[in-house]
Amino acid sequence: ERERERRERERKSMAGVKTTPEIKEITKIERIGAHSHIRGLGLDDTLEARAVSQGMVGQKEARRAAGVILKMIQAGQIAGRAILLAGQPGTGKTAIAMGMAKALGEETPFAMMAASELFSLEMSKTEALTQAFRKAIGVRIKEETEIIEGEVVEIEIDRPATTGSAA
């Protein structure tokens, strides 16, 4: 009874308000990451950082330094080595790293990791890094395990014949 009265009051209060039903059709769900807008470092030909370019804003000195490293990588001077970006949270390290990867081309693997992933109790640091690198370059390792189930009926132990005499 009370519920019916509440609905009636609500209906009367909404009598003068027109509502338009909104129907949205969702055909595709996209995952948008925090740095999905980045397309490069936003540098000109002289490695000067543009104010706003390729999704990058600010950190002009860091972007220029990343551009110098990028040129060295493209020239083959530091190929096959890792780059460590360090700094306070929120200073743009991930954005610069992603900008470098995008500037190097689509074939360049990019692995983003949080420090907490490295210092996990579940696996060693080496294993965590190995998994991240494999994921970045698309390596999949298939492990096969054979499990035999059944009931043990008899155990037979083969021992070599002993040599020597028992006196």
Count of beta carbons in the 10 Å neighbourhood of residue 108: 13
Q: Which residue has the higher pLDDT, 149 or 29?
A: 149
Provide the pLDDT for residue 142: 67
% of the chain at pLDDT higher than 90: 0
Across the range 106-121, mean pLDDT stands at: 76
Across the range 11-37, mean pLDDT stands at: 59
Provide the pLDDT for residue 145: 73
Provide the pLDDT for residue 155: 82
135 has a pLDDT exceeding 60 = yes
Q: Which residue has the higher pLDDT, 161 or 44?
A: 44
Q: For helices 60-74 and 93-104, what crossing angle results, to 10°? A: 30
Q: Which of 135, 136, 118 shows the shortest CA–CA distance to 127? A: 118
